[in-house]
Structure 1
Amino acid sequence: MGESSKALYARMLVDVVIGPVLDNLEKKDISAAHTLRAAFSKADHTLPGFVYDTIRGMLRKAEVTDKVDMCETLLRLGGTQDSDELKLYRPEKTFQDLSRCATGLKVILGRIPEQIYDRKQFLETIKEIASSIKLLLDAFNKVIEDVPSSDSGSKQILEDRKKEFVRYSKKFSNMLKEFFRDSSQKQNVFLSANFLIYQTNVILRTVKQECC
């Protein structure tokens, strides 16, 4: 596995495994949850991939490493699990529309492992994904438009995130073309879909940082 994949898995594990677990812990012991969240963040910053290596180490210890496809598992979880850090709480319609569109796209992407084996069904799913990407970009554009022109710094950061998302969307589209030419590319489709889910999360996290 390349380093870029390992880095992606590490970030996805934080979003769809560690984050939700700490969200639940926070309801029972907010201090412990904050301490652990800060510890994981600091450790992964100091030692990139720390979270991934920790989870892989636990799987090896349990002797189930060869039974868990990390890429496929994270894709399934990416469509159903969200850390509280990715949720937008601003009540304005533009923000709620963006949140809804982001969730919708991730849910559809998370269905890929179930549907990729049925060509007809998978083609329908691809159409849904394309439509969901357009809806997400439209919603994101409206959020960007609402940023005051005086706040050019935040506006530029959001525009940069949009360009990055579009870049990964095109990579995903190209990977699908490769898959239909060569069905052995299934794992690369999963990986590309994970990258797209992560970029969706990056949009949500950036909006939260710059606008909320």
Structure 2
Amino acid sequence: MASSHSSSGDVRDTRDQQGSHPPPTSNTAAGNSQEVIAFSTIVLNYVLPQVVKDLEAQDVGPAQAFADSLRKAEAEVPGIAFQIVSSILESQSPKLNVIEHLLKLTGSSAGPDSYLESQGGYYAELEQHAHEVKKILSSLPEIVLDRSRFLDNIKKIALHLKNYLAALVHIAKELEQKYPQNTAIQRSLQYRRQEFSRASRHFSEQLKVYFQDNSKAQNIYPSALALIASNIQFSHKLKDMLLQLNGVNASRATSRGRDG
């Protein structure tokens, strides 16, 4: 989480004392680490929709069936979507930095749907700040060598993250007041907040490494990608939660109507 920022680019929430995950040592990191799973989130939300669109435009086979298969495989083996796609990209362009490529791609693709924005209020505010964070992070490879612009954008990221968390606090309070008996909501929100805090802290740590040694700019990209993925994961979870709650409420209203 990010409640403050400084000239060193620290966007860490010091209240979160949980550990962070080291960046992959290569494009296709071995195993199913949390970051590789995060990268799969990017693949499924930014790469896969474009691939399906391109294949359908070319009338190349059952594009949607391919997408469904990849999503199913990811559900069975978390991280496999990134490993498959990164292997394909590396085979086509051996010198391609897959992580950097995916990071840039998030800035030019629409990504997840706009359900939360359509809910208005703090939900829309949450998504707006998440979008701004994504947009700035995706531009880091283009500005990382311009120290002045880079610092300015890091400060903007910190501010958007601070506002993102403020919106999240309001949402949590609203849901707690509306569903006081549903403790699962608060547990789920707290867990996602911790995951987001961990991703934010890791990004902050990699910034510090970069400021100590500017030759390590690419070390920032995996943590930036993981931070975007954390936002996506939270948005999906919140959307599913709202849809489920709305479904329960609709069911109860129907039942009351029948009883009346």
TM-score normalised per structure 1 = 0.84
The answer to whether the 8 A contact 2:107-2:138 is kept is: yes
Residue of structure 2 in register with 1:201 after alignment: 232
Identity of paired residues, percent? 27
Deviation at residue 22 of structure 1 after TM alignment: 4.4
Residue of structure 1 in register with 2:69 after alignment: 39
| Cα 1:57/1:16, change in 2 over 3 Å | same
Question: What is the distance in 1 between the residues matched to 2:142 and 2:150?
Answer: 9
Q: Secondary structure at the match of 2:119?
A: coil
Residue of structure 2 in register with 1:159 after alignment: 190
Deviation at residue 129 of structure 1 after TM alignment: 0.7
**Matched letter for residue 220 of structure 2:** V
Q: Which of 95, 113, 120 does residue 92 from structure 1 map onto?
A: 120
The answer to whether the 8 A contact 1:15-1:83 is kept is: yes
Q: Please show how residues 1-150 of structure 1 align to structure 2 within 5 Å.
A: 1=26, 2=29, 3=31, 4=33, 5-22=35-52, 35-62=65-92, 64-66=93-95, 68-85=96-113, 87-88=115-116, 90-147=118-175, 148=178, 149-150=180-181
| Cα 1:125/1:99, change in 2 over 3 Å | same
Runs of 4+ in 1 over 6 A off after TM superposition: 23-26
Q: Secondary structure at the match of 2:181?
A: coil
- Higher RCO (CA 8 Å, separation ≥ 6 residues): 2
Question: What is the distance in 2 between the residues matched to 1:79 and 1:87?
Answer: 19
Tell me whether 82-91 or 43-52 shows the greater mean CA deviation.
82-91
Question: What is the distance in 1 between the residues matched to 2:88 and 2:54?
Answer: 21
Question: What is the distance in 2 between the residues matched to 1:25 and 1:207?
Answer: 31
Higher Cα Rg, which structure: 2
Residue of structure 2 in register with 1:180 after alignment: 211
The answer to whether the 8 A contact 2:71-2:81 is kept is: no
The answer to whether the 8 A contact 2:42-2:102 is kept is: yes
Deviation at residue 175 of structure 1 after TM alignment: 1.4
Considering only aligned residues, what root-mean-square deviation do their CA atoms show, in Å? 2.6
The answer to whether the 8 A contact 2:41-2:233 is kept is: no
| Cα 1:34/1:156, change in 2 over 3 Å | farther
Question: What is the distance in 1 between the residues matched to 2:91 and 2:192?
Answer: 38
How many residues end up aligned between the 2 structures?
A: 207
| Cα 1:20/1:155, change in 2 over 3 Å | farther
Gaps of 5+ in 1: none
Residue of structure 1 in register with 2:22 after alignment: none
**Matched letter for residue 104 of structure 1:** E
Gaps of 5+ in 2: 1-25, 244-260
Tell me whether 104-113 or 6-15 shows the greater mean CA deviation.
6-15
Question: What is the distance in 1 between the residues matched to 2:186 and 2:65?
Answer: 32
| Cα 1:155/1:35, change in 2 over 3 Å | farther
Question: What is the distance in 2 between the residues matched to 1:7 and 1:195?
Answer: 9
The answer to whether the 8 A contact 1:79-1:107 is kept is: yes
Question: What is the distance in 2 between the residues matched to 1:159 and 1:105?
Answer: 21
Question: What is the distance in 1 between the residues matched to 2:241 and 2:98?
Answer: 32
The answer to whether the 8 A contact 1:101-1:139 is kept is: no
